[in-house]
Amino acid sequence: MSGGRGVILRPEDVVLCVGKRGTGKSTRAKAMLAAAMAAGQRVLAFDPHDEYSKHGRDSGQVRLGPLTQRMTLVELADNLDVLEEDGLALAVVPEGSQRDKGEDFAALVDDVLDVGELVFLADEVGQWGRYAIEALEELACQSRHSAVPVVLVAQRLTQIPKTARTQATQLNSGRQDNPDDLKALADLAGDDFAVAVARLARGEHKHWRDDAGPEPAKGKRK
Ligand SMILES: Nc1ncnc2c1ncn2[C@@H]1O[C@H](COP(=O)(O)OP(=O)(O)OP(=O)(O)O)[C@@H](O)[C@H]1O
Ligand SMILES: [Mg+2]
């Protein structure tokens, strides 16, 4: 399938959005969140480039995303009740070093799994993910129990920790050409998918779903 249309984020979903820089990952991820919001789902984005909310940093290079609220992680720590709100559509912008961001992400995962019933997206995993491997793995393995669909965005599939990768129910890939990434793509989605991804032009993508995955669970926030 193409574009973000028709992508329904279910509680058990772990969506990996990968591709070389500038292949449109964040653009497609924003479209997924817009669709989730339109479907009435609560949404939270870990947003290092400050690009997922209408109040983000307008660099002129990217189109800002659809989220209606923006906070730094420090501001969120003082306002954790916001995570309980109906209609949550919040971009959380981490600051500091990549290590700081990884540690902040790990703390946020605890809050997200505690509160539950929201779509949780994290971008730039390749930058800070090495400092949050356990949190990424816990998120991918446990989020279903908190009714938290997860979207992880990274330039390379191998930047997603392996245990988290094995939980993927959907893969949205722009061009990848590194042999390690192509091997990981083939392991997850099959040889034909990996071959097709290696041939994509900039701006093109392919979407894979684990058809053997669990049935969509019903359940909507009251
Ligand atoms: N389908 C498309 N057609 C034309 N332009 C696009 C398309 N998708 C994205 N773009 C543009 O390409 C640029 C890069 O897109 P985007 O920021 O989504 O890439 P990215 O994969 O997230 O890159 P990075 O890895 O650097 O974060 C942006 O200016 C965006 O507006
Ligand atoms: Mg991006």
Specify if 32 maps to a domain. Answer: yes
**Strand pairing class (206-209; 43-46):** unpaired
pLDDT value of position 2: 38
- Cα separations in angstroms, 137 against 82, 142, 163, 203: 25, 8, 6, 29
pLDDT value of position 61: 82
Q: Averaged over 48-61, what is the pLDDT?
A: 93
- Cα separations in angstroms, 38 against 26, 34, 63, 66, 125: 18, 6, 19, 10, 26
Q: Averaged over 122-151, what is the pLDDT?
A: 98
What CATH number is associated with residue 33?
A: 3.40.50.300
What would the pLDDT profile of 17-29 be if each residue is shown by its tens digit?
999 999 999 999 9
CA–CA dist 88, 13 (Å, integer): 19
CA–CA dist 213, 156 (Å, integer): 23
21 alpha carbon – ligand 1 mean position (Å): 8
pLDDT value of position 3: 39
**Ligand 1, CB within 6 Å, residue ranges:** 19, 21-27, 61-63, 155, 203
What range does the domain containing 37 cover? 14-209
Structure tokens at 127: 């930058």
Beta partners for 45? 91, 121
Specify if 187 maps to a domain. Answer: yes
What would the pLDDT profile of 128-141 be if each residue is shown by its tens digit?
999 999 999 999 99
pLDDT value of position 57: 95
C-alpha angle 77/113/165, rounded to 5°? 115
Average pLDDT of the chain to the nearest whole number = 92
- What kind and span of H or E run contains 27? helix 25-38
Specify if 220 maps to a domain. Answer: no
Specify if 222 maps to a domain. Answer: no
Number of independent structural domains in the chain: 1
Q: Is the pTM of this model over 0.85?
A: yes
61 alpha carbon – ligand 2 mean position (Å): 11
CA–CA dist 195, 90 (Å, integer): 37
Residue with tokens 């817009």: 34
Q: Give the end-to-end CA distance of the chain in Å, rounded to a whole number.
A: 31
Specify if 217 maps to a domain. Answer: no
DSSP string, 157-192: GGGS-HHHHTT-SEEEE-----HHHHHHHHHHH-HH
Specify if 27 maps to a domain. Answer: yes
What would the pLDDT profile of 163-221 be if each residue is shown by its tens digit?
999 999 999 999 999 999 999 999 999 999 999 999 999 889 999 999 776 555 444 44
Task: Give the mutation target among 2, 21, 23, 27 for probing the ligand 1 site: most ligand atoms within 8 A of CB.
Answer: 27
